């Protein structure tokens, strides 16, 4: 799942566990290592343990078991203020009684940096987030997006090598969020800093990160680059959680290396790519992305599977059409088609043939 | 407004669009659609709403006005009111005005005469002791002087009464006087009144009939009519008697003598038998006058010859006085102007100062003790915080007296704390600490009692400070202390402000606790006010002290507003 060879890793979690009440584990056996300069996102539903991991790294929570290492040195017993980790909070946490410049000056003052040096650094940090003229304002006089930029500048102004961000864009509207996502990734790469980013927004995770760690139930379900995560989910949770997904239940009939044969609950037999299944006879969930399904299966060539389907609903979405079909006894099978010239608009009740390539059809754990 | 068929673009009258355009062009007041200024239009629209809101608060407003603002206003008004002196001693106040206090001589006969008249009336109405008490605040001893004078003053002019009655027994009858002086109409009215009074008996409470004199009498016999009217009023209202059956005061006889001496022609007013009666009496008193009022007062008490008494009376003769406020500021009004009272009598300045610095000490102790508790309340898990909150509120549900008495048990010389200290060999049995009946006792007990008033506003402010600020500060490299001091503390200052105002203002006017545990040096100005209200009954001084206290609190509030800004004070949210 995760590479535990953490010898030269910049940040490493080794067999970390965390419990708040002594009865249940919030984080179960976490192993993770990050090279310097990586942008890693922890993605997962709420309660999955991702924020706890971030807080343990920042030093606000202590690990119940295991070790957290920074540059090879265990930091479990180092208080947060000595870790030198920058952090951006979900609600920005800008000090309301200080001006923007004073907020930025704070980390420099506690590090006993001289006045002229401080001013230069503050100016540089503010310019970096295009907020050069706002030094004299109070946080309450700024918009949400502006506050977030200041929070970012404050986390960067003392030049930390590692910056943690806890759902920093959660409170912003969509457009602002997208432009800030872009800015944050650019800044991170420009400055060469290592970033651990926590979010529950999968688009954000996919667009910003070098790697994404998908959390569920206190464990990392999959740690991989965004494209790998989307295209080759290793288990049904990841497949469900990242992007849209059609699932069909079935049982393995045959398995031989890169292919297997699955008998669906409705009796149809299809080929699939075995990912997370071991034995013949085991139950499995077949996962197919909606955009990999064709309503006109001839175009896919001879390898394609075809199934009969009945149109239940047709939704016009502008650039795409979403069609809900009844396939193999399930009513929630979605197909996405591009809005091409001459593309047929299906009517509910119509019967069609749909098809997909066997390699797009992944047999995962049930 | 305009022709309905007109194109909207050509409408030249006031339309909303045109109004806005006009307003922009001329930068005059914004106009509503009908051309009235927008502000006026808005005010009209909101008036109804405001009236409704006012209607909702009106019951409470009226209640507070009647039960709180008016009584307090009246009480505070007493601090300048001096109506009792000019009301009770009107003649004296007028007569003594022209007396030169710096002469060092007692005033003229005329002043003593006025005093005799005023005192006789006041004694008849039983109010002479009140004015004595009032003047006693300004010069000790006047109270007993007035009380004593009240006993003897009705004998003023006694020799004249005797001489009159010796000349003719008819002078002994009240009816003689009535028929001599008054109109026939009055005579019949008073006779009826007398009959009704006799019939009803003691519970008769019909007001006495105003005396109506015959024509020309009041001009010719001013003193006599004046005195006789007062006599009729006093016996009528106090005893339910009419002048028909009562022998008048000796002063009435004396007045008639004086009037006729001063204006011999007045004898022409009387006719026939009555004239003979009066002439007879005048003959009998020939050469007896003028009456020596001063000697009469000297006989009552030699003190009455002291110019000091008359000085006091002269200074405090007006209907309003600054005397109470001056006393409250340890000063007194003398004929030479305002002076400080002798050093051994200066108490209020010390008391005010003590009240201030002890209230500050209490406020400060409350901050020190309350801040950590409020912090715990705001940051502990809900369940624990609730238990703690009950502990904080518990004192509210216990009687103030019980709590204060508990401190008495704890702090006294043979009390729990001293016993414990002796048992632990920290202090010797011989020199137990004096923890009560002094300032320590007051500060300890009042800090405890006022602590919730500090904790609650602090808590409600701290509750609104998200923990992420402290985390952010730490992640930025601040130690726990720096994070607290630079980030958390400044944000809790509004709570400290609110708590301090509350505690300080409550402390400055506190009464019960200092009274019980304060002893001599631990009492506040409010205890002195209470003393004047309930023991010395000098309400004027109590009101003056109260007014100064109120002004002090308002001044401090204003100062606080200037320095901290009252907008920064939060009691919650």
Tell me whether residues A87 and B473 touch, CB distance under 8 A.
no
The answer to whether residue B295 neighbours chain A at the CB level (below 8 Å) is no
Nearest to A137 by CA among A104, A98, A109, A89: A98
Q: Which of A58, A75, A81 to mutate to test the interface with B (most CBs of B within 10 A)?
A: A81
In this structure, of A145-149, B4-8, B56-60, B501-505, the range with the lowest mean pLDDT score is B4-8
Residue of A nearest to B480 (CA): A81
Query: CA-to-CA distance for A198 and B314, rounded, in angstroms?
Result: 88
A89 interface with B at CB cutoff 8 Å: yes
- A330 CB neighbour count, 10 Å cutoff: 16
Residue A177 confidence (pLDDT) above 70: yes
For residue B464, the chain A residues in CB contact (below 8 A) are none
Whether A81 sits inside 8 A of B472 (CB atoms) is: no
User: What tokens appear for B122 in the block?
Assistant: 């006041």
Helices (H) and strands (E) in chain B, counts: 29, 2
Please give the pLDDT value at position B27. Answer: 57
CATH dotted code for A244-365: 2.40.50.100
CB of B153 within 8 Å of a chain A CB? The answer is: no
The pLDDT score that the predictor gives to residue B17 is: 59
Looking at CA atoms only, how far is residue B463 from chain A in angstroms? 15
Smallest CA–CA distance from A156 into chain B, residue: B476
- Give the pLDDT of residue A297: 72
CA atoms A339, A343, A345, A349: torsion sign: negative
Q: What is the C-alpha to C-alpha distance for residues A181 and A194, in angstroms, rounded to an integer? A: 16
- Looking at B303, B321, B339, the residue that finishes a domain is B321
Same domain, B149 and B161: no
Q: In this prediction, what percent of chain B has a pLDDT beyond 70?
A: 93
Domain count, chain B: 3
Choose one of B267, B290, B313: the last residue of a domain: B290
* Pairing of β A11-18 and β A85-88: unpaired
Specify if B490 maps to a domain. yes
Identify which of B517, B528, B538 has the alpha carbon closest to the alpha carbon of residue B447: B517
In a domain, B186, yes or no: yes
Got the DSSP string for B550-571? HHHHHHHHHHHHHHT-GGG--S
Query: Sorting pLDDT into bands at 50, 70 and 90, what band is B363?
Result: very high
Answer whether A269 touches B (CB < 8 Å).
no
Residue B476 has its nearest CB partner, among A60, A90, A110, at A110
Residues forming beta bridges with residue B451, ordered by sequence position: none
Optimal mutation site among A78, A95, A103, A112, interface B, most CBs of chain B within 10 A: A95
Together in a domain, B396 and B543? yes
Distance CA A44, CA A65 (A): 22
pLDDT single digits (tens) A235-249: 888 988 888 888 888
**Same-domain check for residues B403 and B489:** yes
Report the C-alpha gap between A355 and A243 in whole angstroms. 20
Minimal C-alpha gap between B466 and chain A (Å): 8
**Same domain flag for B195 and B105:** no
Beta-carbon contacts of B375 under 8 Å, excluding residues fewer than 6 positions away, are B462
Give the position of tokens 């016009």.
A316
Measured between CA atoms, how close is B472 to chain A, in angstroms? Answer: 6
Measured between beta carbons, the chain B residues lying within 8 angstroms of A164 are 475
According to the 3-state scheme, what is the secondary structure of A219-270?
A: EEEEEECHHHHHHCCCCHHHHHHCCCCEEEEEEEEEEECCEEEEEECCCCEE
Looking at the domain assignment, is residue B29 inside a domain? no
Write the DSSP symbol of residue B213: B
Sheet containing strand A11-18, edge to edge, reads A27-34, A11-18, A65-70, A73-74
Compare all CA atoms of chain A with the CA of B568 and give the residue at the minimum distance. A97
Most confident of B410-414, B434-438, B451-455, B559-563: B451-455
**pLDDT score of B40:** 83
A158 touches chain B (CB under 8 A): yes
pLDDT band at B289 (very low <50, low <70, confident <90, very high): confident
Looking at the fold, whether B233 and B365 belong to one and the same domain comes out as no
Name the residue among B444, B368, B439, B438 with its Cα closest to residue B410.
B444
Are A59 and B474 within 8 A, CB to CB? yes
Q: Chain B residue closest to A158 (CA)?
A: B476
Region B456-474: mean pLDDT is 90
Residues near B488 by Cβ (< 8 Å), separated by ≥ 6?
Answer: B465, B469, B470, B473
Q: Are residues B250 and B166 in the same domain?
A: yes
Contact: B473, A106; criterion CB under 8 Å: yes
Nearest to B467 by CA among B375, B402, B330: B375
Q: What is the pLDDT of residue B193?
A: 87
- How far away is chain A from the Cα of B482, in angstroms, using its nearest Cα? 8
ipTM of the complex: 0.81
Residue matched to tokens 């920064």: B568
**Touching check for A80 and chain B: CB below 8 Å?**
yes
Q: Are residues B379 and B480 in the same domain?
A: yes
Which of the residues B465, B466, B475, B482 would you substitute to probe the A interface, choosing the one with the greatest number of A C-beta atoms within 10 Å?
B475
All residues of chain B having their beta carbon less than 8 Å from the beta carbon of residue A86 are 475-476
| Closest Cα in chain A to B472 | A93
Spatial contact of B101 and B314, defined as CB atoms under 8 Å apart: yes
From B270, B305, B321, the end of a domain falls on B321
- DSSP 8-state secondary structure symbol assigned to residue B427: S
Q: Nearest by CB to A110, which of B469, B471, B477?
A: B477
Q: Does A20 touch chain B (CB under 8 A)?
A: no
Contact call for residues A85 and A58 (beta carbons, < 8 A)? yes
CB contact under 8 A, B473 and A91: no
Tell which B residues from 420 to 479 touch A, by Cβ distance under 8 Å.
Answer: 466, 468-469, 471-479
Q: Identify how many contiguous H helices and E strands chain A contains and give both numbers.
A: 8, 19
Chain A CB within 8 Å of residue B145 CB? no
A106: nearest CB among B468, B476, B491? B476
Q: Which residues of B touch A59 (CB under 8 A)?
A: 474-475
CATH number of the domain that B420 lies in?
A: 1.10.3720.10
Nearest residue in A to B487, CA atom: A95
Summarised one tens digit per residue, pLDDT across range A53-106 is 999 999 998 899 999 999 888 998 899 999 989 999 988 899 999 999 999 999
Q: What are phi and psi of A135, to 5 degrees?
A: -55, -35
CB contact under 8 A, B475 and A58: yes
Interface with chain A: mutation pick from B469, B472, B478, B491, highest number of A CBs within 10 Å: B472
CB-CB under 8 Å, A110 with B482: yes
A307 token code pair: 């199934």
Contacts of A82 in chain B (CB under 8 A): 477
Nearest Cα neighbor of A326 from A305, A310, A337, A339 is A310
**Are the beta carbons of A81 and B479 separated by less than 8 Å?**
yes
Which residues form the domain of B303?
85-153+294-321
**Every domain of chain A and the residues it spans:** 11-236, 244-365
Confidence band (pLDDT; 50, 70, 90) for B7?
Answer: very low
Task: Identify whether residues B146 and B198 lie together within a single domain.
Answer: no
DSSP B1-45: ---TTS-GGG--S--HHHHHHHHHHH----B-TTSSBHHHHHHHH
Phi-psi region of B495 (alpha: psi -120 to 50; beta: other; left: phi over 0): alpha
- Same domain assignment for residues B119 and B239: no
pLDDT given at position B1: 40
Query: In chain B, which residues have their Cβ closer than 8 Å to the Cβ of A79?
Result: 474, 480
Provide mean pLDDT across the span B220-224: 89
Out of B466, B469, B478, the one facing A110 most closely (by C-beta) is B478
Distance from the Cα of A331 to chain B's closest Cα (Å) equals 46
Contact B113, B257 (CB under 8 A): no
Alpha helices in B380-511, H assignment, sequence order? 382-393, 400-411, 416-423, 439-462, 468-475, 480-482, 489-508
**pLDDT mean over B57-78:** 92
Task: Give the pLDDT band (50/70/90) at residue B560.
Answer: confident
Contact in structure between B491 and A97 (CB atoms under 8 Å): yes
Cβ pair A63, A34 in contact under 8 A? no
Residue A225 falls in which region: left (phi positive, over 0), alpha (psi -120 to 50) or beta? beta
Res B10: pLDDT: 47
Looking at domain A11-236, which of 2.120.10.30, 3.40.50.720, 3.40.50.300, 1.25.40.10 is its CATH number?
A: 3.40.50.300
Domain shared by B213 and B266, yes or no: yes
Whether B312 and B428 map to the same domain: the answer is no
B385 and B513 both lie in a single domain: yes
Residues A339-359: tens digit of each pLDDT: 887 777 788 888 888 888 888
pLDDT digits (tens, 9 = 90+) for A29-42: 889 999 999 999 99
- What lies within 8 Å, CB to CB, of B245 at 6+ separation is B174, B175, B194
């Amino acid at each position: 799942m995760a590479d535990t060879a953490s010898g030269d890793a910049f940040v490493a979690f080794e067999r970390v566990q965390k419990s708040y009440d002594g009865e249940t584990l919030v984080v179960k056996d976490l192993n993770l290592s990050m090279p310097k300069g990586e942008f890693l996102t922890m993605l997962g539903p709420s309660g999955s343990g991702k924020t706890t991991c971030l807080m343990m790294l920042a030093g606000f929570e202590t690990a119940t078991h295991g070790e957290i290492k920074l540059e090879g040195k265990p930091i479990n017993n180092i208080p947060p203020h000595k870790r030198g980790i920058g952090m951006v909070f979900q609600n920005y946490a800008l000090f309301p009684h200080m001006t923007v410049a004073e907020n930025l000056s704070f980390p420099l003052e506690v590090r006993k940096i001289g006045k002229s040096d401080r001013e230069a650094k503050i100016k540089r940090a503010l310019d970096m987030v295009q907020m050069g003229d706002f030094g004299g304002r109070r946080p309450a006089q700024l918009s949400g997006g502006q506050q977030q930029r200041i929070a970012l500048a404050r986390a960067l102004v003392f030049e930390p090598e590692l910056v943690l961000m806890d759902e920093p864009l959660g409170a912003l509207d969509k457009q602002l969020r997208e432009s800030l996502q872009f800015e944050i990734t650019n800044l991170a790469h420009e400055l060469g800093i290592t970033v651990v980013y926590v979010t529950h927004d999968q688009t954000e995770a996919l667009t910003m990160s070098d790697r994404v760690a998908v959390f569920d139930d206190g464990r990392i379900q999959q740690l991989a680059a965004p494209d790998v995560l989307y295209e080759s989910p290793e288990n049904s949770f990841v497949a469900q959680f990242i992007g849209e997904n059609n699932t069909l239940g079935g049982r393995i009939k045959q398995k031989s290396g890169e292919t297997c044969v699955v008998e669906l609950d409705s009796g149809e037999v299809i080929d699939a790519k075995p990912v997370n299944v071991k034995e013949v006879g085991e139950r499995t969930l077949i996962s197919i992305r909606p955009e990999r399904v064709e309503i006109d299966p001839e175009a896919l060539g001879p390898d394609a599977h075809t199934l009969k389907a009945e149109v239940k609903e047709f939704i016009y979405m502008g650039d795409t059409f979403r069609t809900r079909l009844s396939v193999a006894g399930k009513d929630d099978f979605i197909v996405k088609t591009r809005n091409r010239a001459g593309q047929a608009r299906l009517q509910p009740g119509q019967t069609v043939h749909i098809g997909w390539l066997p390699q797009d059809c992944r047999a995962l754990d049930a | 407004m305009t022709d309905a068929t007109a194109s909207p673009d050509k409408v030249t009258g006031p339309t909303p669009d045109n109004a806005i355009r006009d307003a922009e062009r001329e930068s005059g007041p914004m106009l509503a659609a009908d051309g009235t200024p927008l502000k006026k239009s808005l005010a009209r629209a909101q008036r109804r709403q405001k009236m409704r809101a006012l209607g909702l608060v009106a019951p409470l407003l009226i209640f507070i006005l009647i039960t709180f603002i008016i009584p307090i206003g009246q009480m505070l008004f007493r601090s300048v009111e001096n109506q009792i002196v000019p009301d009770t001693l009107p003649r004296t106040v007028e007569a003594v005005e022209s007396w030169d206090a710096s002469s060092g001589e007692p005033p003229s006969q005329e002043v003593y005469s006025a005093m005799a008249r005023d005192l006789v009336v006041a004694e008849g109405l039983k109010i002479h002791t009140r004015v004595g008490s009032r003047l006693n605040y300004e010069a000790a001893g006047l109270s007993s002087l007035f009380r004593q004078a009240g006993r003897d003053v009705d004998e003023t002019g006694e020799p004249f009464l005797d001489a009159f009655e010796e000349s003719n027994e008819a002078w002994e009858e009240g009816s003689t006087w009535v028929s001599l002086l008054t109109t026939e109409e009055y005579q019949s009215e008073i006779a009826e009144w007398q009959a009704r009074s006799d019939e009803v008996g003691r519970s008769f409470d019909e007001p006495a009939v105003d005396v109506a004199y015959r024509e020309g009498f009041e001009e010719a016999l001013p003193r006599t009519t004046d005195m006789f009217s007062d006599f009729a009023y006093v016996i009528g209202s106090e005893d339910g008697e009419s002048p028909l059956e009562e022998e008048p005061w000796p002063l009435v006889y004396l007045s008639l003598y004086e009037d006729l001496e001063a204006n011999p022609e007045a004898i022409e007013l009387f006719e026939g038998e009555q004239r003979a009666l009066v002439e007879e009496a005048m003959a009998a008193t020939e050469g007896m006058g003028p009456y020596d009022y001063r000697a009469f007062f000297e006989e009552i008490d030699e003190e009455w010859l002291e110019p000091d008494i008359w000085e006091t009376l002269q200074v405090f003769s007006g209907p309003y006085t600054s005397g109470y406020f001056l006393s409250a500021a340890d000063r007194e009004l003398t004929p030479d102007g305002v002076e400080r009272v002798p050093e051994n009598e200066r108490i209020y300045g010390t008391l005010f100062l003590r009240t201030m610095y002890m209230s500050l000490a209490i406020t400060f102790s409350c901050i020190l003790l309350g801040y950590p508790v409020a912090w715990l309340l705001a940051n502990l898990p809900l369940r624990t915080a609730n238990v703690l909150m009950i502990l904080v509120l518990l004192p509210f549900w216990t009687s103030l007296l019980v709590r204060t008495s508990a401190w008495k048990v704890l702090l006294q010389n043979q009390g729990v704390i001293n016993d414990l200290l002796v048992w632990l060999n920290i202090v010797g049995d011989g020199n137990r600490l004096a923890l009560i009946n002094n300032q320590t006792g007051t500060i300890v007990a009042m800090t405890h009692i006022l602590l919730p008033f500090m904790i609650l506003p602090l808590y409600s402010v701290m509750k609104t400070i998200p923990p992420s600020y402290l985390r952010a500060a730490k992640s930025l490299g601040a130690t726990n202390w720096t994070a607290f001091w630079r980030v958390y503390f400044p944000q809790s200052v509004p709570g400290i402000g609110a708590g301090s105002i509350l505690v300080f203002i409550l402390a400055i006017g506190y009464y019960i606790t200092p009274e019980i545990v304060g002893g001599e040096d631990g009492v506040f100005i409010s205890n002195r006010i209470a003393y004047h209200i309930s023991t010395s009954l000098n309400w004027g001084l109590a009101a003056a002290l109260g007014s100064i206290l109120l002004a002090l609190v308002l001044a401090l509030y204003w100062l606080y507003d200037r320095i901290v800004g009252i907008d920064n004070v939060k009691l919650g949210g």
